[in-house]
Amino acid sequence: MNPILGVVDAFLCVLVVIAAIDYLRRVRPIEQPMLSVSFYLVAIGAFGDFAAAIQGHYVSPFTVMIHAGVVAYAWARRGHVFEVAG
């Protein structure tokens, strides 16, 4: 069962890298630097996690990078979450 989960983890990491790169194409770093940093953190962390999954490591320090990118994204988009609908 573990090899199957490793393959699924590697596939999901590839999807996350592709999504982060696609978002990086659309975001202008000068206008939205926090979003750019968050997408870079997610892309680098997911790629590192992918490399670790290919080598057979199930726990990777790059997971912390992915989480830091998600936190940075949430911080950058906090205005949309707390926006009062009127």
Instruction: Return d(Cα 8, Cα 79) in angstroms, integer.
Output: 34
User: For residue 38, which of 82, 76, 78 has the smallest C-alpha distance?
Assistant: 76
- Upper half-sphere CA count for residue 41 (Cβ side, 13 Å): 19
Regarding pTM above 0.75, the answer is no
| Token pair recorded at residue 18 | 């592709």
Predicted confidence at residue 85, as pLDDT, reads 61
Predicted confidence at residue 71, as pLDDT, reads 85
DSSP class of residue 85?
P
DSSP class of residue 84?
P
Tens digit of each residue's pLDDT (9 = 90 or more) over 17-53: 888 888 888 888 888 888 888 888 888 888 888 888 7
Domain boundaries, the chain: 2-81
Tens digit of each residue's pLDDT (9 = 90 or more) over 45-77: 888 888 887 887 767 778 888 888 888 888 888
